Amino acid sequence: MENTEKKWFSLNLGNKKKQAESSCGCGKSGGCNSQDKTTPQEEEKDGFQQVFEVSMDRRTAFKKLAASLMIGAGAVTTSCSLITGDDEKEKAQIDWEEQFKGNYKLMSDEEKKATVDRLVRSYQLRTGKTLSMSSQNADENVLFGYAFNISKCQGYMDCVTACVEENNQDRSSQMQYIRIHEMKDGKGLNFNEADDNYYHEVPAEGHFYLGTQCFHCDNPPCVDVCPVQATWREDDGLVVVDYDWCVGCRYCMAACPYDGRRFNWSKPEVPEEEINKNQHYLGNRMRKKGVMEKCTFCVQRSRAGKNPACVEACPTGARIFGNLLDPNSTIRWVLENKKVFRLKEDLGTEPKFWYFMD
């Protein structure tokens, strides 16, 4: 592979550091084969695996410690109190194991399943209700991409509402992943004069609309800066966060050039009856205070073969989502037949989010 085929800009220093593949959806034949090869990312993972082994050893140590503590504590409480039920004990056990679990990125499939089961059980014990949570991994030969038709968007913001409901976002701080920028006709793409917080009838005369959210960059700056690898790029291109591993330093927020990340400044609140119970560990499960979150292209839907909520909710058809590696997908048709562009391409972040006009 030559320098010209690199996915993103990097200096060629002669060593095969980032041997990236040809760009996807560029319209040329023979592109979009990024899944075929062992990418450097996967090689790195072996290194992570080593760290992972260590942390798992500690984890089992913690587990044993926890178990013995639990037995001891359980013996004491049951002998002293008749009220403490098995539920209380189980809850305490789950809390303990959740507190000392490892990074989701480095877990094996069994461990992923175990933590998901614990979270579901914990929710049952707390509320008496049940929910479904998935730990589904990325499928092979899938790379998600998104296109946004500026000509079609009328600024109705149905996507924003659908996103908030689908992803269980904090209602009290009105957190929204999507921002719709209302721009003036004749000024071009002038974000400085755009309004991303409008409260009037749309479409407003003399304006056009453009939506932004996390662009799921192929070379995401937020991932590099995280001190604990609590955020990473999955094999299907989604940039995700392990809410339980995040320490809340907000370095990723400073590193994101697209305003794609949100922070839980308080404990997020969603009314019980509004909670979307179809969840994914990396997606819309309930977050806690002091952690980062962001758009995941609705991982709970997209990995199940559905469109993200924003795409489904859009009344104008301005939003197009699909698999970049599937030559017959709509997104590929758009990329090959429309004059597409991306925001701040000079930063070398390679967003998988394209804009186009009719």
Partner 1 sequence: MRRLKVFISLVRDSLDTITHGSRKYHLWMAFLTLVMLIGMYCYSIQLEEGLSVTGMTDRVSWGLYISNFTFLVGVAAAAVMLVMPTYVLKDINFKQAVLIGEGLAVAALIMCLVFVVADMGGPSVLWHMIPGIGVFNFPSSMLTWDVIVLNGYLFLNISIPFYILFRHYQGKDANPRVYIPGALLSVFWAVGIHLVTAFLYQGLQARPFWNNALLGPRFLASAFAAGPALIIVVLAIIRTYTAFKIEDKTIKKIAMVVTVAAQINLIMLISELFKEFYAPTHHSESAYYLFFGLDGKNALLPWIWAAISLNVLATVLLTFHKLRNNFKVLFFSCVILFIAIWIEKGFGLIVPGFIPGPYGKIAEYTPTGIEIGVTIGIWALGAFVFTILAKVAIKIETGRLRMKR
Q: Is there binding between residue 94 and partner 1 (CB under 8 A)?
A: no
Report the nearest approach of partner 1 to the CB of residue 343 (Å).
Answer: 9
| CB closer to partner 1, 262 vs 280 | 262
Q: Which amino acid is at 284?
A: N
> Which among 132, 62, 52, 55 is positioned nearest to 97, based on CA atoms?
62
Bridge partners of residue 261, in order along the sequence: 294
| CB closer to partner 1, 190 vs 337 | 190
Q: Is there binding between residue 63 and partner 1 (CB under 8 A)?
A: no
Q: Which two tokens stand for residue 185?
A: 């006709």
| CB closer to partner 1, 126 vs 289 | 289
- Of the candidates 8, 96, 156, 263, which one interacts with partner 1 according to CB under 8 A? 263
Segment near partner 1 (CB under 8 A); pick from 16-24, 47-55, 272-280, 299-307:
47-55
Q: Is there binding between residue 192 and partner 1 (CB under 8 A)?
A: yes
- Of the candidates 30, 128, 188, 227, which one interacts with partner 1 according to CB under 8 A? 227
Q: Is there binding between residue 267 and partner 1 (CB under 8 A)?
A: yes
Where in 287-316 is the site for partner 1 (CB under 8 A)? Answer: 289-292
Q: Is there binding between residue 58 and partner 1 (CB under 8 A)?
A: yes
Cα–Cα distance for residue pair 92/74, rounded to 1 Å? 10
The DSSP line for 35-51 is TTS--HHHHHHHHHHHH
| CB closer to partner 1, 249 vs 286 | 249
Bridge partners of residue 184, in order along the sequence: 207
Q: Is there binding between residue 249 and partner 1 (CB under 8 A)?
A: yes
Spacing of C-alpha 96 from chain mean position: 26
Q: Is there binding between residue 348 and partner 1 (CB under 8 A)?
A: yes
Q: How far is CA 179 from CA 159, 212, 251, 319, 357, in A?
A: 10, 5, 21, 14, 19
Secondary structure letter of residue 234 according to DSSP: -
Report the nearest approach of partner 1 to the CB of residue 212 (Å).
Answer: 7
Under a CB-based contact definition with an 8 Å cutoff, are residues 204 and 155 in contact?
yes
Q: Which two tokens stand for residue 175?
A: 């957190």
Report the nearest approach of partner 1 to the CB of residue 196 (Å).
Answer: 7
Under a CB-based contact definition with an 8 Å cutoff, are residues 239 and 58 in contact?
no
Q: 3-state class of 192 per DSSP?
A: helix
Under a CB-based contact definition with an 8 Å cutoff, are residues 252 and 231 in contact?
yes
CA dihedral over 179, 239, 322, 135, signed as positive or negative = negative
Segment near partner 1 (CB under 8 A); pick from 110-118, 135-143, 190-198, 330-338:
190-198
Q: Is there binding between residue 179 and partner 1 (CB under 8 A)?
A: yes
Segment near partner 1 (CB under 8 A); pick from 115-123, 140-148, 149-157, 248-256:
248-256
- Of the candidates 26, 65, 71, 228, which one interacts with partner 1 according to CB under 8 A? 228
Segment near partner 1 (CB under 8 A); pick from 11-19, 20-28, 258-266, 277-285:
258-266
Secondary structure letter of residue 346 according to DSSP: G
Spacing of C-alpha 83 from chain mean position: 42
Cα–Cα distance for residue pair 299/295, rounded to 1 Å? 9
Q: Is there binding between residue 257 and partner 1 (CB under 8 A)?
A: yes
Q: Which residues bind partner 1 (CB under 8 A)?
A: 48, 51, 54-55, 58, 103, 106, 173, 175, 179, 181, 191-194, 196, 212, 221, 224-230, 244-251, 253-259, 261-267, 289-292, 347-349
